[in-house]
Amino acid sequence: MKQLLLVIFAAAIAAPARAGDATADFARPVSTYSIVARDAATGEMGVAVQSHWFSVGPIVPWAEAGVGAVATQSLVKVSYGPDGLRLMREGAAATDALAQLIRQDDAAAVRQVAMVDAKGNVATHTGEKCIAEAGFEHGTAPDGSVYSAQANLMRTDQVPAAMADAFESAPPGTPLAERLIRALHAAESAGGDVRGRQSAAIVVVRAVASGNSWEDRVVDLRVEDHPTPVDELDRL
């Protein structure tokens, strides 16, 4: 079944986009796993991601201090990132922002998106045509931190649950960046991407914007091409 899905996937991304065709929106086929979260103690928000795709960092993770964080993946429409942040900056809750963007997307069935806002609202979408194993887990950790873990084209269907468990079970006081990395390690332990590993990224921003964007990023790291990108991201 996975081989058949991979053939279908390859055919889909090889087909040329036509004017007016929804596939014209596809920026890159980033099948992957990721986690977005907000730390209850600090208000920091962040995204971490790994994929068997070169340089996943510029595509999937988006975050802005005082606003929120977004992960956009599967057959990616990159604009979910900046547009989601814009809507949340303008006052929309994560749930409303994501719902609005999905309504405007003719190809929502192949998207996988998660958002968290500065007030702790979480929204997630996994289209019914995302390639299995595709799914998500979202919730609230014992310390009140909120998150959404999502994955597609995974070796097993246990990846999102493993990420959720790792995030929720982090020792009290663990910095958000470390909790996000723990979730990526858990995804690998649960099987990870069926194709293997290649790149990873993490972005964590402050709870309140300072007015200087370069001061608002607590962590902003990318591993563009590496045999074990999560290990390398952790080392960095």
Output the tens digit of pLDDT for each of the chain's 236 residues. Answer: 444 444 434 434 333 333 333 334 444 566 789 999 999 999 999 999 999 989 999 999 999 999 999 999 999 999 999 999 999 999 999 999 999 999 999 999 999 999 999 999 999 999 999 988 899 999 999 999 999 999 998 888 899 999 999 999 999 999 999 999 999 999 999 987 888 899 999 999 999 999 998 999 999 999 999 999 999 999 99
Write out pLDDT tens, residues 124-149.
999 999 988 899 999 999 999 999 99
Using an 8 Å Cβ cutoff, are 44 and 63 in contact?
no
Long-range residue pairs from 104-108, CB within 8 A, at least 24 positions apart, any chain: 105/25, 105/77, 106/22, 106/25, 107/22, 107/23, 107/25, 107/26, 107/75, 107/77
Write out pLDDT tens, residues 28-54.
566 789 999 999 999 999 999 999 989
DSSP letters for 81-110: HHHHHHHHHTT--HHHHHHHHHHT-TTGGG
CA-nearest of 190, 204, 214, 222 to 59 is 222
| 88 contacts: CB under 8 Å, gap ≥ 6 | 67, 68, 94, 97, 115, 117, 118
Res 194: pLDDT: 80
β pairing state of 32-38 and 68-75: unpaired
Res 117: pLDDT: 98
Confidence (pTM): 0.87
Using an 8 Å Cβ cutoff, are 83 and 73 in contact?
no
Q: In the structure encoding, which two tokens stand for residue 121, read together?
A: 């609202």
Q: In the structure encoding, which two tokens stand for residue 143, read together?
A: 């310390």
